[in-house]
Amino acid sequence: MKIYTKPQLIAELKKIAAKGWIENRRHGNQGGIGNTLEDLLGIAENNLPIPNAAEWELKSQRINTTSLTTLFHIEPSPRAIGFVPQMLLPMYGWKHKEAGKKYPTTEMSFRQTIHGNSPSDRGFMVKIDRKEKKVLISFNAKKVSNKHASWLKKVQKNIGLKELNPQPYWGFDDLSNKAGTKLLNCFYVQAETKKENGKEFYHYTKVLMLQKFNFEGFLKAIEKGNILVDFDARTGHNHGTKFRMRQNCLPELYEKVTVIV
């Protein structure tokens, strides 16, 4: 494995950008952009060997994609309650679309991707309480879409239509530690893509150096709807609660952004 100083890595990334279109080195791999870049740099997966006081990561994405990027998994507090499987799924869940087919007829689902900009069509939203230093999950029955009227009646029968009590939350300290560990200083590389004769090619056209994770920027991204909370649970399995991000929003989370290419 090669070991780079920061200036050496910057010079190498500029060379790769100048090469133009490069064929995917990992055919059939969804992570081809990152894997191909790692191969070109001669480094192991998602590991930047830069001798430095700060740790660094290499993050790569397609330009102009609508897919969300998973930042990390973390269950809401208090974790001893097991909010998702013990409260949200049985009290606020709905029949799984594969119930009676792939799963038993009693299989329930609680899948919601929500943020702080507006409520989902089932009335769920993320709220930030800076005074209490909490990121909370909120429910407002008045914001539920008419298409979910029958589901809302079941919720009313199960638990009533008031605010969640207690409310699932993440304390600022826990969330800041988790995010700060996962969102290290990084080189953020974006690539254009094209296909020719069944082969995929990448042109690495944008490189940013992102330094000093900023938790307030993280909170603001939740409020703007650029970072989302993703619940994905069914009766038989909780796939975990994730914080996910819209494309092109990563620089908002750092104090210092340096354009390399």
Q: What is the pLDDT of residues 34-44, one digit of tens each?
A: 889 988 998 87
128-136: average pLDDT: 98
Q: Is the pLDDT of residue 31 over 80?
A: no
What amino acid occupies position 258? T
User: Confidence band (pLDDT; 50, 70, 90) for 59?
Assistant: confident
Tell me which residue of 13, 9, 5, 2 sits closest to 51, measured CA to CA. Answer: 5
Give 39 or 140, the one with higher predicted confidence: 140
Distance CA 124, CA 50 (A): 42
Q: Across the chain, what does the average pLDDT equal?
A: 92
Residue 178's pLDDT band, with cuts at 50, 70 and 90, is very high
Q: Which residues pair with 199 in a beta bridge?
A: 196
What local confidence, expressed as pLDDT, does residue 43 receive? 85
DSSP class of residue 37 equals: H
Peptide bond preceding 78 in cis form (omega within 30 of 0): yes
Least confident piece of the model among 16-25, 44-53, 73-82: 44-53
The whole-number pLDDT of residue 65 equals: 80
SS3 state at 210: strand
Residues 227, 224: Cα–Cα separation, whole Å: 8
The token pair that represents 92 in the structure block: 């606020």
Q: Which pLDDT score is estimated for 32?
A: 85
β-pairing verdict for 227-234 and 134-139: unpaired
pLDDT of res. 100:
92
> Which ranges in 149-214 belong to alpha helices (H)?
149-158, 172-182
Please state the rounded mean pLDDT for residues 37-53.
77
pLDDT at position 29 is 59
User: Is the CB of residue 118 less than 8 Å from the CB of residue 138?
Assistant: no
